[in-house]
Amino acid sequence: MKRSVTCISVLMLGASCVFVRKAKVPAAPVHEADVLTVFLTGNELGALKPCGCSSGQLGGLDRRSAILNTVPREARLIVDTGALVESDSEQDLIKFNVMVRAFDLLDYDLVNLTDRDIEMVRNLGLLDEIGSVFNVISPRQPADVAVPAKFSKRLSLNGKAALITVATFDAKSGQIEQIGELFATQPDVQTVNILILNHCDTATIAAVAQSVPTVDCLVCPADSDEPRLISDPNSRSLVFSVGRFGRKVCRLRIIPVKDELKLGFGAIPVKEALPQEPDLVQLYKDYQQFVKEANLLEKYWRLPLDNGLEYVGSKPCKPCHAYEYEKWGSKGHARAYATLERVGSQYDPECVVCHVIGIKYESGFISEQKTGHLKDVGCETCHGPGSEHIKTPGAAKTAEPKMRCLDCHTPEQSPDYAGDEQGYLEKIVHWREPNSTDDVKRKGNVKDSM
Ligand code: HEC
Ligand code: HEC
Ligand code: HEC
Ligand code: HEC
């Protein structure tokens, strides 16, 4: 793990970094498999781990190994179809590096690099080293990198050689006839040919199936978070997509039936109940450390507030609103920052944004050290910046309670919120009668005319 720390700290300084391929276990006696398994993931889009805001969330690189390691190395191929991160922000650069390290630890055989992935590899100065971490393929052939378009792994199935080939193809600009060349046939070798496409419409799928009958399996870009079988389960080519955010791992089982190889597709949820792999848990802690060192909170893009208003924090409200302050203080919103500290994510803007006051605005939260008074989901998160209101004791109205609970209580972070809005509102009551929750509803209705 130390290696990765130095790596990324060096990267922060703009220099390049050399990955050292970890020593692989020496060739063990060949495992006589009667079934081979290809695991496929992809479109992580930076999701290293679910946020943990609610229970039952799927995903997490640290739990993936529990699925991958159900099959011994001699009987499996592990492939990531690419799109490791979402954008080219500094945080995504850090994430990309962490994912490369994770794939190494998880013993991936192959990673398909999309255009953005190649760009990230280039930005990180890893062009020369990436191929020594795991095998890489790419549908585009950038002038300055030598990345092949296909990869094969030879395994043994029922005492016979089996060759699994994974190729990648740019279906937007390439000629479909070229695909055939990617899959060579060999006498006495059972083959399974998998093609990763960056573009899949029904016409492309049909054209590939027709002109390249040697393709057993087509992997399409994700059109949903869930992996999806697009073709009939028994058809050849089998067509599917791998989903997003690493919530499930696709499993392609290669089963010999008489003289043929049958393919079975499945998707295994990465459940919270699966054990975590310690090396990957540590890797996430390293990630939190890199995020802290990169000072991302300071660099957060902030908008000016209207009318010269400023955030003042929740404490200054206390003298005049002792009742509301005390009520609020007894509930979850007032501990939202401590929650992040508990899990070590208090320097991560992707988390902090919903657990403090006004990070998106000037005078809003920056860091515990600089703006400790703005941590937690404080009064002004909902009532708006209070600088004028406290100066004019109450005469300048606070912004009408925005009631934009949904900004933070999203389906991902707070799946129980939708459908139980009233229940959630009742739990945060900190106002005095007669402002009953019914009153809130009434007020909500006439808000526009106020
Ligand atoms: C879109 C807003 C949002 C983001 C982004 C967000 N959270 Fe949350 N978080 C919430 C909300 C809302 C809850 C309360 C959910 C509920 O009770 O329904 C919560 C609850 C939690 C809890 C559980 C608190 C408890 O003990 O009950 C943890 C832990 C947590 N968040 C950590 C994180 C981490 C770590 C991140 C970043 C990876 C993050 N959050 C990002 C909104 C967010
Ligand atoms: C800025 C983001 C944000 C907004 C806006 C927000 N919440 Fe929350 N809410 C959170 C976070 C974060 C937590 C988890 C706090 C913790 O325990 O760490 C939470 C927890 C809760 C909880 C469970 C904890 C408790 O106090 O019982 C309720 C209920 C709740 N919110 C209701 C609401 C309602 C109703 C609204 C709208 C009026 C709202 N929230 C607006 C972020 C937000
Ligand atoms: C999660 C959002 C949220 C937070 C945090 C919050 N409030 Fe509120 N507040 C509300 C809502 C919603 C209402 C009731 C809606 C209404 O009155 O329209 C309310 C009502 C009030 C009222 C009564 C409003 C009236 O018109 O009489 C006061 C006063 C108040 N809050 C002060 C505070 C103070 C002080 C804090 C911090 C100690 C705080 N609130 C924190 C959402 C919030
Ligand atoms: C110096 C005293 C004082 C302080 C400090 C103060 N308030 Fe008030 N606040 C008042 C008074 C007085 C009213 C009643 C005004 C009215 O009814 O017209 C009021 C009303 C409100 C209301 C309901 C009406 C409105 O303006 O929306 C909210 C919400 C509120 N305060 C929130 C806050 C928050 C949040 C803070 C801290 C940022 C705060 N107050 C600090 C004196 C204060």
Report pLDDT for 176: 87
- The whole-angstrom separation of Cα 13 and Cα 412 is 35
* 127, 100 Cβ separation under 8 angstroms: no
**Residues near 69 by beta carbon (within 8 Å), at least 6 away in sequence:** none
Q: How far is CA 341 from CA 104, 376, 379, 433, in A?
A: 29, 11, 20, 35
Rounded (5°) CA angle 266-271-275: 115
CA dist., res. 307 & res. 420, Å (int): 35
Low-confidence ranges of the chain (pLDDT < 70): 1-32, 142, 402-403, 434-450
- Residue 11: the pLDDT is 45
Which of 103, 92, 109 minimizes the C-alpha distance to 47? 92
Sequence-distant (≥ 6) Cβ neighbours of residue 42 within 8 angstroms: 80, 81, 82, 83, 112, 219, 222, 242, 243
Mutate to test the pocket of ligand 4, among 309, 310, 392, 398 (most ligand atoms within 8 A of CB): 398
Which of 185, 234, 195 shows the shortest CA–CA distance to 217? 195
The CB of 424 under 6 Å from ligand 2? The reply is yes
How many angstroms is it from 427 CA to the middle of ligand 2? 9
Q: What's the rounded Cα separation, in Å, for the pair 181 and 194?
A: 13
Tell me which residue of 343, 423, 440 sits closest to 382, measured CA to CA: 440
**Cα 424 to ligand 2 centroid, rounded to whole Å:** 8
CB neighbourhood size of 146 (10 A): 10
Q: What is the pLDDT of residue 32?
A: 60
Decide whether any atom of ligand 4 lies within 6 Å of the 319 Cβ.
Answer: yes
Q: What is the per-residue pLDDT across 297-313, written as a single tens digit (0 to 9) for each?
A: 999 999 999 889 999 99
Confidence (pLDDT) at 258: 85
- Ligand 2 centroid distance, CA of 9 (Å): 35
> Tokens 């081979």 map to which residue?
36
Neighbours of 318 (CB within 10 A): 16
CA distances from 67 to 41, 165, 248, 256 (A): 12, 22, 10, 22
User: Does residue 328 have its Cβ closer than 6 Å to ligand 3?
Assistant: yes
| Beta carbon of 237 within 6 Å of any ligand 1 atom | no
Say what the pLDDT of residue 437 is.
Answer: 52
Q: What dihedral do alpha carbons 44, 9, 131, 180 form, nearest 10°?
A: 30
CA angle, residues 249, 253, 254, in degrees to nearest 5: 150
Residue 401 Cα, ligand 4 centroid: separation in angstroms? Answer: 12
Task: For residues 34 and 52, give the distance between their C-alpha atoms in angstroms, rounded to a whole number.
Answer: 39
Between CA 381 and CA 27 the distance in angstroms is 58
351 CB near ligand 2 (under 6 Å) = no
Is 432 touching ligand 4 by the criterion CB < 6 Å? no
Q: Ligand 2 centre and the CA of 333: distance in Å?
A: 5
